[in-house]
Chains A and B, each alone.
Chain A
Amino acid sequence: MNAGSFNPNYFAQGLSFAAPEIFLGLAACAILMLDLLLSDARRHWTGVLAVVSLGVTAVLVAVQPVTGRVVALGGLYELDPMGQVLKVVTLIIVAAVFVYSSDYLRRRAIFKGEYFVLGLFATLGTLVLTAAANLITLYLGLELLSLCLYAMVAFDRDSGIAAESAIKYFVLGSMASGTLLYGMSIIYGVTGSLELAAIADAVRNGLGDNIGLIFGIAFIIVGVGFKFGAVPFHMWIPDVYEGSPTCVTVFIGTASKLAAFALAMRLLPEALGGSQQDWSQMLVVLSVLSMAIGNIVAIAQSNLKRMLAYSTISHVGYVILGILAGTAQGYQAAMFYMISYVIVTAGAFGMILLLGRQGFEADKLADFKGLVVRSPWFALMMAILMFSLAGLPPFIGFPAKLGVVQAVLGVDMTWLGVVAVLFSVVGAYYYLRVVKIMLFDEPVDTAPLGGSMLMRTVLSCNALLVLGLGVMPGALLQLCQRALP
């Protein structure tokens, strides 16, 4: 590939690779326009079209014949199995999130097209980030995602707490982006390239002990740690999770976590694989702190969204466990963990959305009291999700935990595996408390559950998937294995 001269065939091929992203971008613009023409009564078409365009994009991604790693568009864009899997998962999860959110938005009378349009652009950002072969594309995707998220958090204009969260998120997020960018610039300075493949070559060929490189890695770890929400860069997570409208929290908790994972995988193993020793050590600290602080502080929470925020922090610690092992098995395990985690999280926030209604956000633990009396079926679904988060078999959280613990044991860090399982005992306590509240306590609120048939169906499928993939994790594990050989 010669970036200097323009080759129309090569460019056309590149465009065909990027067809899903291009389609999603165009669809988002079209939906934005269309939404202006729709009356409030027909506003639901915005949501329907958004979900349809996500579905079409997912199909476009899934049918791409991906065998190995192919770089296109002048070294800016890459197509590889990992990206393909992550994109499809992102698109499906976002579609589910839109379905969950529609009901909630309508019931709270904030059913606006902006939510869907911003969501689509944020998804586009995730896709671009996932497909990046160049630091510039990576940053472009990340900023597209982040800016949409800032706006989405503040999207309920009348909510003071949401505005506060948005500002907090924006200020801290910009700082993290800046740090990341600074790290990237150092890497560029040291290696002389923005292309991930070229950086990887330069690092492997004798840059290992370069002090500048290690400096750059440290900044990149800070940026990645922030996007993940790993301790000590986690401060924004609880406030943003609690303050945002729940339909945005679920988006941040799922799509942006997948994006953070893609970001980490592109930057650390792919570009900086040669200095794995260096960043592994930094990640060990992040991982242990995240598991500890996340799990311990979650116990003290009485707000379910805030509890799930700390739970996210702890789970990120487990994902990092897989990454820091630095082996193919570790990366696969981390990817499996991330995918399983977003499936469960989507369901858990979906439950909060289901229980919420006009003027009432069901985000307190106490709001779930005696759910088994109000709706045995959804109490069962929520119990499945909580047991899965606790890492109990036969739910998907178990093979995920098994994988990451195996990854650290595989590189002779048995102590880290022991630390990981010990903190998951601490974690089990607060998940069990949710189950206790739903199953053992008497209900205080006897209002019937809301939610359209569609939402109830999707939510049930989501929870049953957690059980199904827990009993039969083989297929998804194999998918991760093929994605990261």
Chain B
Amino acid sequence: MMFGGHLLSVLIWLPIIGGCVVLGLGKQPAAAKWLSLGVSVLTLLLSIPLWTSFTTGIATMQFVERAPWIATIHSQFYIGVDGISMPLILLTTFTTVLILIASWINVAKRVAQYFAAFLILEGLMIGVFAALDGVLFYVFWEAMLIPMFIIIGVWGGPRRVYATIKFFLYTFLGSLLMLVALIYMYLRAGSYELAAFQTLPLTLTEQTCIFLAFFAAFAVKVPMWPVHTWLPDAHVEAPTGGSVVLAAIMLKMGGYGFLRFSLPIAPDASRELDWLIITFSLIAVVYIGFVALAQRDMKKLIAYSSIAHMGFVTLGMFIGYQIVVHTGRTAGVEMGIDGALVQMLSHGFVSSALFLCVGVLYDRVHSREISDYGGVINTMPMFAAFMVLFALANSGLPGTSGFVGEFLVILASFKANVWFAFLAATTLVLGAAYSLWLVKRVIFGEVANDKVAALKDLNGREFLVLGLLAAVVILFGVWPAPLLDVIRASTDHLAQQLLISKIAP
């Protein structure tokens, strides 16, 4: 194994240390850019063995590393990946490279700091997905807020200060309640290991409190209706790179948290409170779908579409309990979770692609208003092809990655309750409506104004970024089997875990 079994540590620390070095290159922006790109590409290459050497078919943690850290509270530097976290780490390394390439020329001020922030953020995000110790997880989880706060605050739009402080405080509040839950369980279990938390017997009241504390942290991050209001603000004000990292990775952390913490640690409370999550998810799918339809700002539209899609993710995770109630059998529980995970990954690609598309237009016209565009296809045919593809993927067209996850989740909902499936399936209509209507207004039609007439088509750099994303979206759309193979063992294990009561005897 590479690095004597320290591959994950290298993946975490390489970007962080690289970022600190880049930070020191404030006076040489060109060198800072190239060094950042080098570090992020190296991290991407190093993360590929995670996939290739991954043993499918087992649910245990792999690439495990364990080192003493804070002895007095029995907290260790304990990291590892399973089928749930490994694809998310690859998503992180892949997306970061794209972000850095996409930001190459459109960051005007404090270039080195911008690139450094993304590198440090990358390391911290990988840490979140890899951590198997409660304190370690929390450290990465919170530390991640700092670079994001700065990215939105320094390089964002006109209302960036409001947006970034709102983003920070919202997520900080949720996380602190999670911290209390973690400490509570540590005092019960005598260890911060997540595995110890997962096997710790807890009464229903304890589980409910812990579940709600985790819910505060993860629901804000996902974000679920009604705590989603920070997201449109943050997205609109963030620079393109910030929007991409928010949509592609940060939102996934909420979903990951539900899978790694809420479901296995508080399965009985999850069963009791599944109505809460399912209701919020369906509201997100239907109501937020309509809200997206009404947006006039492209970034806001995609932000609301993200919320709706993430509603699908949480629906898939918690629909299993209803399946058991209605069919009396456990078949299909894992399907919902598979669907949720695939949907998370797919949304990571599709939403970043859409934000990058908006970024491409914004760089040229400096407007995100839909009404400022029209007939872009006449001047940017290549770009138009990409944008249409990603919009279709966003609405779940078969043959794109967006379809696989949605299909699995709807199928699982069908087993639980036809009406759940019906409401969930409205996304196929609403998603198509807002995505395609966006495309119709921006891309098609007559050339709307002089600015659109003067547009230049994609340059090589932009083509590379969007091309890579398009390839991935189509690849997973037509051939999702490798991805499902990797995640299956872990999701099956989770599906069993969440159905076993752990109420203390």
Contact surface of A with B, Cβ cutoff 8 Å: 332, 372, 376, 380, 387, 392-394, 398-399, 402-403, 405-406, 409-410, 414, 417-418, 421-422, 424-425, 428-429, 432-433, 435-436, 439-440, 472-474, 477-478, 481
Known: A409-B180, A421-B177, A436-B165. A376 touches B26 (CB 8 A): yes
B residues 164-209 touching A (CB-CB < 8 Å): 164-165, 168-169, 172-173, 176-177, 179-180, 183-184, 186-187
Known: A428-B169, A440-B153, A473-B70. A398 touches B180 (CB 8 A): no
The reply to whether A394 and B72 contact each other, CB–CB distance below 8 Å, is no
Q: Mark B413-447, 1 if CB is under 8 A from A, else 0.
A: 00000000000000000000000000000000000
Q: Does B71 contact A (CB under 8 A)?
A: yes
The reply to whether B142 and A424 contact each other, CB–CB distance below 8 Å, is no
Known: A402-B73, A406-B186, A424-B176. A393 touches B169 (CB 8 A): no
Q: How far is the CA of A399 from the CA of B176 in the complex (A)?
A: 13
B residues 117-151 touching A (CB-CB < 8 Å): 135, 138-140, 142-143, 145-146, 149-150
Q: What's the minimum C-beta distance from B171 to chain A, rounded to whole angstroms?
A: 10
The reply to whether B161 and A409 contact each other, CB–CB distance below 8 Å, is no
The reply to whether B142 and A393 contact each other, CB–CB distance below 8 Å, is yes
Residues of A near B299 (CB, < 8 A) are none
The reply to whether B183 and A417 contact each other, CB–CB distance below 8 Å, is yes
Query: With A436-B153, A436-B165, A440-B154 given, can you name 16 additional A-B contacts, CB distance below 8 Å?
Result: A376-B113, A393-B143, A399-B70, A402-B73, A409-B180, A410-B187, A417-B180, A417-B183, A422-B176, A425-B169, A428-B169, A435-B150, A436-B164, A474-B69, A474-B70, A478-B72
Known: A392-B146, A428-B168, A478-B71. A405 touches B183 (CB 8 A): yes
Residues of A near B168 (CB, < 8 A) are 428, 432
Known: A405-B183, A439-B150. A429 touches B72 (CB 8 A): no
Q: What's the minimum C-beta distance from A375 to chain B, rounded to whole angstroms?
A: 11
The reply to whether B72 and A481 contact each other, CB–CB distance below 8 Å, is yes
Which residue of A has the minimal Cβ distance to B16?
A394
B residues 55-78 touching A (CB-CB < 8 Å): 68-73
Which residue of B has the minimal Cβ distance to A473?
B70
The reply to whether B169 and A429 contact each other, CB–CB distance below 8 Å, is yes
Q: Does B160 contact A (CB under 8 A)?
A: yes
- Top 8 nearest A-B pairs (CB, nearest first) are A421-B176, A393-B139, A477-B72, A440-B153, A425-B173, A474-B70, A406-B183, A393-B142
Known: A410-B187, A477-B72. A405 touches B165 (CB 8 A): no
Task: State which of B138, B140, B143, B184 has its C-beta within 8 Å of the C-beta of A409.
Answer: B184
Q: What's the minimum C-beta distance from B279 to chain A, rounded to whole angstroms?
A: 25
Residues of A near B184 (CB, < 8 A) are 409, 414
Q: How far is the CA of A146 from the CA of B179 in the complex (A)?
A: 39
Give the size range of B's interface with the partner: 35 or more
Q: What's the minimum C-beta distance from A477 to chain B, rounded to whole angstroms?
A: 4
Which residue of B has the minimal Cβ distance to A425?
B173
Q: How far is the CA of A403 from the CA of B153 in the complex (A)?
A: 31
Which residue of A has the minimal Cβ distance to B72?
A477
Residues of B near A376 (CB, < 8 A) are 26, 113
Which residue of B has the minimal Cβ distance to A474?
B70
Q: How far is the CA of A394 from the CA of B169 in the complex (A)?
A: 17
Known: A376-B26, A421-B177, A478-B72. A392 touches B142 (CB 8 A): yes
The reply to whether B73 and A406 contact each other, CB–CB distance below 8 Å, is yes
The reply to whether B180 and A425 contact each other, CB–CB distance below 8 Å, is no
Task: State which of A332, A428, A436 has its C-beta within 8 Å of the C-beta of B161.
Answer: A436
Known: A398-B142, A440-B154, A440-B160. A414 touches B72 (CB 8 A): no
Q: How far is the CA of A433 from the CA of B149 in the complex (A)?
A: 12
Q: What's the minimum C-beta distance from A160 to chain B, rounded to whole angstroms?
A: 36
Q: What's the minimum C-beta distance from B116 to chain A, rounded to whole angstroms?
A: 11
Contact surface of B with A, Cβ cutoff 8 Å: 23, 26, 68-73, 110, 113, 135, 138-140, 142-143, 145-146, 149-150, 153-154, 160-161, 164-165, 168-169, 172-173, 176-177, 179-180, 183-184, 186-187
What are 23 A-to-B residue pairs whose CB atoms are below 8 Å?
A380-B23, A393-B139, A393-B143, A399-B70, A403-B73, A406-B183, A406-B186, A406-B187, A409-B184, A417-B180, A424-B176, A425-B169, A425-B172, A428-B169, A429-B169, A435-B149, A439-B153, A440-B153, A440-B154, A440-B161, A472-B69, A474-B69, A478-B72
The reply to whether A394 and B186 contact each other, CB–CB distance below 8 Å, is no
Which residue of A has the minimal Cβ distance to B141?
A393
Residues of B near A481 (CB, < 8 A) are 72
Q: How far is the CA of A393 from the CA of B150 in the complex (A)?
A: 15
Residues of A near B23 (CB, < 8 A) are 380
Q: What's the minimum C-beta distance from B388 to chain A, rounded to whole angstroms?
A: 37
Q: What's the minimum C-beta distance from A74 to chain B, rounded to whole angstroms?
A: 36
Q: How far is the CA of A422 from the CA of B169 in the complex (A)?
A: 11
Which residue of A has the minimal Cβ distance to B186?
A406
Which residue of B has the minimal Cβ distance to A418?
B180
Q: How far is the CA of A422 from the CA of B150 in the complex (A)?
A: 23
Q: What's the minimum C-beta distance from A230 to chain B, rounded to whole angstroms?
A: 22
Q: What's the minimum C-beta distance from A93 to chain B, rounded to whole angstroms?
A: 23
Q: How far is the CA of A63 from the CA of B195 in the complex (A)?
A: 44
Task: State which of B160, B172, B179 has its C-beta within 8 Å of the C-beta of A428.
Answer: B172
Which residue of B has the minimal Cβ distance to A428?
B172
Q: What's the minimum C-beta distance from A407 to chain B, rounded to whole angstroms?
A: 10
Which residue of A has the minimal Cβ distance to B124?
A394
The reply to whether A394 and B139 contact each other, CB–CB distance below 8 Å, is yes
Q: What's the minimum C-beta distance from B168 to chain A, rounded to whole angstroms?
A: 6
The reply to whether B183 and A409 contact each other, CB–CB distance below 8 Å, is yes
Residues of A near B70 (CB, < 8 A) are 399, 473-474, 477
Residues of A near B154 (CB, < 8 A) are 439-440
Residues of B near A433 (CB, < 8 A) are 165
The reply to whether A398 and B69 contact each other, CB–CB distance below 8 Å, is no
Residues of A near B169 (CB, < 8 A) are 425, 428-429, 432
Which residue of A has the minimal Cβ distance to B152?
A440
The reply to whether B177 and A393 contact each other, CB–CB distance below 8 Å, is no
Instruction: Pick from B73, B110, B184 the residue with the most CB of A within 10 Å.
Output: B73
Known: A406-B186, A440-B160. A432 touches B69 (CB 8 A): no
Q: How far is the CA of A422 from the CA of B180 in the complex (A)?
A: 10
Residues of B near A394 (CB, < 8 A) are 139, 143
The reply to whether A393 and B138 contact each other, CB–CB distance below 8 Å, is yes
Task: State which of A418, A429, A478 has its C-beta within 8 Å of the C-beta of B177.
Answer: A418
Q: How far is the CA of A439 from the CA of B117 in the complex (A)?
A: 13
Q: How far is the CA of A376 from the CA of B180 in the complex (A)?
A: 35
Known: A394-B139, A439-B154. A421 touches B180 (CB 8 A): yes
Q: How far is the CA of A406 from the CA of B165 in the complex (A)?
A: 28
The reply to whether A398 and B150 contact each other, CB–CB distance below 8 Å, is no
Q: How far is the CA of A174 from the CA of B84 in the complex (A)?
A: 63
Instruction: Pick from A380, A398, A399, A425 the residue with the most CB of B within 10 Å.
Output: A425
Task: State which of A393, A399, A432, A472 has its C-beta within 8 Å of the C-beta of B165.
Answer: A432
Q: How far is the CA of A435 from the CA of B73 in the complex (A)?
A: 31
The reply to whether B153 and A398 contact each other, CB–CB distance below 8 Å, is no
Instruction: Pick from A399, A421, A424, A477 the residue with the most CB of B within 10 Å.
Output: A421
Task: State which of A398, A425, A474 has its C-beta within 8 Å of the C-beta of B72.
Answer: A474
Q: What's the minimum C-beta distance from B292 to chain A, rounded to whole angstroms?
A: 30
The reply to whether B161 and A402 contact each other, CB–CB distance below 8 Å, is no
Known: A409-B187, A436-B153. A387 touches B139 (CB 8 A): no
Instruction: Pick from B72, B161, B180 the residue with the most CB of A within 10 Å.
Output: B72
Q: How far is the CA of A394 from the CA of B142 in the complex (A)?
A: 8
Residues of A near B186 (CB, < 8 A) are 406
Q: How far is the CA of A394 from the CA of B184 in the complex (A)?
A: 21
Q: How far is the CA of A414 from the CA of B182 in the complex (A)?
A: 12
Q: How far is the CA of A485 from the CA of B69 in the complex (A)?
A: 21
Which residue of A has the minimal Cβ distance to B188?
A409
Which residue of B has the minimal Cβ distance to A423?
B176
Q: How far is the CA of A474 from the CA of B135 in the complex (A)?
A: 13
Q: How far is the CA of A425 from the CA of B139 in the complex (A)?
A: 16
Residues of A near B177 (CB, < 8 A) are 418, 421
